[in-house]
Amino acid sequence: MIQEKLIEREAQFFIMYSSSNDPNFYYATRFRIPEKAFYMVGDDGTELLVVSEMEKKRAQKESKVREIASLSDLGFYEKLRNEKKGVKEAMAETFIELLKTHHARKILIPEEFPSFLYQALMPHFDIEIIENPYSSMRAVKNSKEIERIREVSGINIKAFNHFLKLLKKERDADRLRENVEAYVFSLGYVAENTIIASGTRSSDPHYLGHGKVEQHVIFDIFPKCRKTGYHSDFTRTVVIDEDEEIEDMISACIEAKNKALKTIRDGVGGDEVHNTVCDVLESFGYSTLRQNSKEGFIHSTGHGVGLEVHEKPRLHEGGEVLKSGMVVTVEPGLYYPDKGGVRIEDTVVLKKHECEVLTKYKDYVRLET
């Protein structure tokens, strides 16, 4: 698939020099490696991953890349020892020789490509900097990926139920966060920076929340499976004490979310979904970002979810056309500095004529005492 995209661009090779911490590199290689490695794919059918000697056998067993070579195979260490070059210089020369062996003329590199290697390649090849093509390829998930996200979505619900039980006795946001994240870790997942935001500062959408929880609280969790690396995203606003304004804001967000869910299907633009949410919230008298407001609904309607919490597509102005197999969030929220914020969010998978909610839970949540 990537070879076809390269041919369309009349290019020879696309290369990356990164580690599996980069979701695009991991997606391309399906190999977990903490150190940087060199990956190249060309329109001549070449697909090669270059790793250190100690990683070669593991890469041959675990990676999905067709051909594996080590730095030793390519003479890197001889350059270090005999030619007395620095590590970066020897590394660059090794990759230049490799590319020339494959008769490379034009090289495509992603925007995040290391500058030292880019400068070394410049005198030898025609280089074009492009958006990493794997970012777009990752947007549509296959059935295996969807099941992985569905699995994490179930953990979201378990974590939220655990949080509600804790909230009956514990009202310190930091202790709640620590407990919830430890619970998620015990299930085989990692949750970091879980939002437990209460009070007027909840009007900052990404405020983590500290101190005493009172009146209402936004619970926003986006864990990752330690085994597969896939995420899911889920938010509910919990009403603790009666507050008509907050409850009206929640009701408006619920209606906006559910109207958006009815809109989402294959072929619909992300901007159309976003405008649907804005239409509903504005009909209730709330301000939105498309009105250039600095309060009210001040962020996008949603984003893709997968190996990253935030990835393509975008449900916002200028958002991409949605396709079956995409997994996205729908998360209308309202934020007013003098009152606080509320948000309702689900992760859904697109199908041809509809979408399926992966984080199924009731929308309106009041703490039961």
What residues pair up with 346 in beta bridges, in sequence order? 330
Residues 287 and 352 in one domain: yes
Residue 274 has pLDDT above 50, yes or no: yes
Instruction: In whole angstroms, give the CA distance from residue 15 to residue 37.
Output: 11
Residues 30 and 90 in one domain: yes
Residues 185 and 298 in one domain: yes
171: which 2 tokens?
Answer: 């009202």
Rounded average pLDDT over 178-197: 98
Beta sheet of 311-315, edge-to-edge order:
311-315, 302-304, 327-330, 346-350, 355-357
Residues 106 and 223 in one domain: no
Structural domain total, the chain: 2
> CATH number for the domain including 101?
3.40.350.10
Query: Residue 237's closest CA among 247, 224, 245?
Result: 247
pLDDT, position 369: 76
Residue 7 has pLDDT above 50, yes or no: no
pLDDT, position 82: 77
pLDDT, position 12: 86
Residues 261 and 184 in one domain: yes
pLDDT-wise least confident of 26-40, 80-94, 292-306 = 80-94
How does pLDDT run across 183-192, given as a tens digit for each residue? 999 999 999 9
Rounded average pLDDT over 30-54: 96
Neighbour count for residue 192 (Cβ, 10 Å)? 13
Rounded average pLDDT over 87-94: 94
Burial zone of 81 (CB within 10 Å; 0-12 exposed, 13-18 middle, 19+ buried): exposed
Residue 8 has pLDDT above 50, yes or no: no
Query: Residue 94's closest CA among 138, 135, 146, 40?
Result: 40
What is the helix (H) or strand (E) element at residue 128, kind and residue range?
Answer: strand 126-130
Residue 301 has pLDDT above 70, yes or no: yes
pLDDT, position 5: 52
Residues 181 and 292 in one domain: yes
Residue 241 has pLDDT above 50, yes or no: yes
Rounded average pLDDT over 164-190: 98
pLDDT, position 10: 46
Choose the final residue of a domain: 118, 137, 156. 137
Residues 130 and 148 in one domain: no
What residues pair up with 357 in beta bridges, in sequence order? 348
Instruction: In whole angstroms, give the CA distance from residue 38 to residue 16.
Output: 6
Residues 149 and 133 in one domain: no
Burial zone of 259 (CB within 10 Å; 0-12 exposed, 13-18 middle, 19+ buried): middle
Instruction: In whole angstroms, give the CA distance from residue 292 to residue 369.
Output: 40
Residues 19 and 88 in one domain: yes
What percent of the chain has pLDDT above 70? 96
Rounded average pLDDT over 292-318: 97
Residue with token string 């390519």: 74
With beta carbons less than 8 A apart as the criterion, state whether 203 and 337 touch.
yes
126: which 2 tokens?
Answer: 């025609």
pLDDT, position 154: 98
Residues 224 and 328 in one domain: yes
pLDDT, position 81: 85
> CATH number for the domain including 259?
3.90.230.10
**Residue type at 241 in one-letter notation:** D
What percent of the chain has pLDDT above 90? 93
Rounded average pLDDT over 89-113: 95
Instruction: In whole angstroms, give the CA distance from residue 109 to residue 113.
Output: 6
Residue 6 has pLDDT above 90, yes or no: no
Choose the final residue of a domain: 104, 121, 137. 137
What 164-167 contacts at long range (C-beta under 8 Å, 24+ apart), as own/partner pairs, is 164/238, 164/365, 164/367, 164/368, 167/213, 167/217, 167/238, 167/240, 167/367
Burial zone of 80 (CB within 10 Å; 0-12 exposed, 13-18 middle, 19+ buried): middle
Instruction: In whole angstroms, give the CA distance from residue 362 to residue 339.
Output: 24
pLDDT, position 278: 98
pLDDT-wise least confident of 51-60, 83-92, 231-240 = 83-92
- Whole domain around residue 193: which residue ranges? 143-366
With beta carbons less than 8 A apart as the criterion, state whether 14 and 121 touch.
no
Query: Residue 352's closest CA among 315, 319, 325?
Result: 325
Instruction: In whole angstroms, give the CA distance from residue 334 to residue 313.
Output: 22
Residue 345 has pLDDT above 90, yes or no: yes
Residues 112 and 214 in one domain: no
Instruction: In whole angstroms, give the CA distance from residue 46 to residue 42.
Output: 5
At 2, is the pLDDT very low, low, confident or very high (cuts 50, 70, 90)? low
Residues 190 and 276 in one domain: yes
Choose the final residue of a domain: 114, 137, 160. 137
